[in-house]
């Protein structure tokens, strides 16, 4: 295995992760958090907040808080959050809605503390447990597809989840596939273990095609493409192996998709809804409502393009503009698109800062080489899913993705001295 020095600008290089009792506690939480990612929202919140608080305690006690505040992991989202908080001054939203949004967008600021304080070995162990959790959920998904499971709290937040939680599960399964493939390509592991990781990836991908949400099916090819390009870049002489591995999994998923009447029906349904969409009048279809949200939200942006209508203002503006669109349309709480939501609240300046956050996260993970592949997958998933959901505003998305992001970035810490490129 050839080794190369890590990039000097890798932002974690100046931060020492936790040791001692705090390190052990964070190690246990990393594993526990990997499983809570599929559990109800309260469990996700508890794991994320406790991990963040212990991380902050370590960084403060060890005198590294100042260095943490200079990290691009924190500076970019902090700039966006401060602008959104400032926009509350001209928002027409009720004061409680403004405070609510201050918290929702402020949750991102806790992720860098986890990323910089969690021990690398523990973080990698947590990511592997997430793959195992994904395989368990995949098994329940397959079982439920052929023999419907009875109602139970055991799978109420996964197989039998409703609404956005069901969409989140689809996205998480796709991430489980990507993480399993990263493990399968790790030459430091034994061949039998790599085969087991590959089988986990294939099995989870098959289960992904059997569930009835499109989000994961759409996100997985994007993540696999990013992973293939990343591997080709870091292993130019053996990149064809990674490309072949990823292509094989993608082909298998595509073949299964062809045999999955549920998935094909969902995509056909969406295309039919788009063809039938009218820019005025009552809207009662899923993709039709999304089109109306885009139309109406862009009207809001055109009214105040520079700095927007202010924090938390979308719902107030929406209710004023959608009378007569039907009960389902009028009851919507968000535009199901984080880019649009931020632009409506903070204008083009806010959109530029949001794109800066994504670019900073993705570019930093990209520059880390193979060590940053897991982080790259999370940030690509975040950027992609934000096109179809409010991935930061909605806690169901945010708690899962931010926890995974923290672990994925932390997992690179042990490779500061040598980044694998074999």
Please, how many CA atoms are within 13 Å of residue 220, restricted to the half-sphere of its CB?
35
Structure tokens at 402: 């931010």
**345 close to 310: Cβ distance less than 8 angstroms:** yes
What does the pLDDT read at residue 150?
Answer: 84
- CB count in 10 Å sphere of residue 195: 12
Rounded Cα–Cα distance for residues 124 and 406 (Å): 11
What does the pLDDT read at residue 279?
Answer: 61
Give which of 226, 238, 135, 217 is closest to 180, Cα–Cα. 135
**384 close to 222: Cβ distance less than 8 angstroms:** yes
325-332 contacts: CB < 8 A, separation 24 or more? 325/281, 325/282, 325/283, 325/292, 326/282, 326/283, 326/284, 328/283, 328/284, 328/289, 329/282, 329/283, 329/284, 329/289, 329/292, 332/289, 332/293
Distances, alpha carbon 66 to alpha carbons 59, 74, 75, 112, in Å: 9, 11, 12, 13
Q: What is the 3-state secondary structure (H, E, C) of 23-75?
A: HHHHHHHHHHHHHHCCCCHHHHHHHHHHHHHHHHHHHHHCCCHHHHHCCHHHH
Rounded Cα–Cα distance for residues 128 and 29 (Å): 14
For residue 102, which phi and psi values (nearest 5 degrees)? -55, -45
What does the pLDDT read at residue 171?
Answer: 94
Q: Domain boundaries in the chain?
A: 9-267+341-415
Rounded Cα–Cα distance for residues 264 and 98 (Å): 40
What does the pLDDT read at residue 22?
Answer: 92
Structure tokens at 253: 């998923």
pLDDT profile of the chain (422 residues), mean per 10: 39 75 94 95 96 96 91 93 97 94 97 95 96 95 86 79 88 95 90 94 89 82 84 60 58 55 57 57 67 89 96 93 74 91 97 97 90 95 93 94 96 55 34
- Whether the CA torsion 281, 282, 288, 292 is positive or negative: it is positive
Rounded Cα–Cα distance for residues 154 and 277 (Å): 39
What does the pLDDT read at residue 2?
Answer: 35
What does the pLDDT read at residue 154?
Answer: 73
Rounded Cα–Cα distance for residues 356 and 175 (Å): 23
64 backbone φψ class: left, alpha, beta (φ>0; ψ -120 to 50): alpha
The pTM assigned to this predicted structure is 0.87
What's the angle, vertex CA 396, arms to CA 136 and CA 348, rounded to 5? Answer: 135
What does the pLDDT read at residue 393?
Answer: 93
- CB count in 10 Å sphere of residue 212: 12
End-to-end CA distance of the chain: 5
What does the pLDDT read at residue 417?
Answer: 37
**374 close to 182: Cβ distance less than 8 angstroms:** yes
Structure tokens at 395: 């806690």
Distances, alpha carbon 360 to alpha carbons 338, 352, 366, 407, in Å: 17, 12, 10, 17
């Amino acid at each position: 295995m050839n080794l190369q020095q890590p990039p000097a600008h890798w932002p974690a290089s100046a931060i020492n992760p936790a040791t001692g009792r705090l390190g052990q506690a964070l190690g246990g939480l990393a594993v526990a958090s990997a499983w809570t990612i599929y559990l109800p929202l309260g469990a996700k919140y508890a794991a994320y907040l406790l991990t963040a608080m212990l991380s902050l305690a370590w960084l403060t006690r060890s005198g590294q808080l100042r260095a943490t505040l200079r990290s691009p992991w924190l500076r970019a989202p902090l700039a966006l959050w401060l602008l959104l908080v400032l926009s509350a001054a001209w928002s027409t939203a009720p004061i409680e809605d403004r405070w609510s949004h201050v918290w929702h967008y402020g949750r991102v600021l806790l992720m860098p503390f986890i990323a910089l304080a969690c021990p690398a070995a523990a973080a990698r162990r947590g990511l592997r447990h997430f793959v195992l959790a994904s395989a368990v959920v995949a098994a329940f998904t397959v079982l439920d597809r052929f023999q419907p499971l009875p109602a139970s709290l055991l799978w109420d937040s996964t197989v039998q989840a409703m609404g956005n939680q069901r969409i989140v599960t689809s996205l998480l399964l796709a991430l489980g596939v990507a993480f399993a493939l990263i493990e399968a390509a790790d030459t430091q592991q034994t061949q039998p273990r790599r085969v087991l990781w590959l089988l986990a990836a294939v099995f989870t991908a098959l289960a992904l095609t059997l569930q009835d949400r499109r989000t994961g099916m759409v996100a997985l090819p994007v993540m696999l493409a990013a992973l293939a390009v990343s591997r080709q870049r870091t292993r130019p002489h053996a990149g064809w192996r990674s490309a072949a591995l990823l292509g094989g999994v993608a082909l298998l998923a595509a073949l299964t998709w062809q045999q999955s009447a549920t998935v094909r029906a969902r995509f056909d349904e969406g295309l039919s809804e788009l063809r039938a969409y009218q820019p005025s009048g009552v809207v009662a279809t899923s993709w039709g409502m999304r089109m109306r949200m885009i139309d109406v939200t862009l009207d809001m942006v055109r009214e105040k393009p520079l700095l927007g209508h202010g924090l938390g203002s979308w719902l107030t503006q929406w209710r004023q503009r959608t009378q007569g669109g039907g009960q389902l349309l009028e009851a919507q709480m968000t535009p199901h698109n984080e880019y649009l939501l931020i632009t409506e609240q903070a204008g083009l300046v806010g959109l530029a800062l949001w794109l800066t956050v994504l670019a900073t996260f993705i570019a930093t993970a990209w520059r880390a080489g193979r060590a940053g592949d897991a982080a790259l997958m999370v940030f690509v998933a975040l950027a992609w899913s934000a096109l179809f959901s409010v991935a930061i505003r909605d806690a169901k998305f945010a708690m899962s993705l931010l926890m995974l992001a923290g672990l994925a970035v932390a997992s690179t810490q042990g490779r500061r001295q040598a980044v694998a490129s074999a």
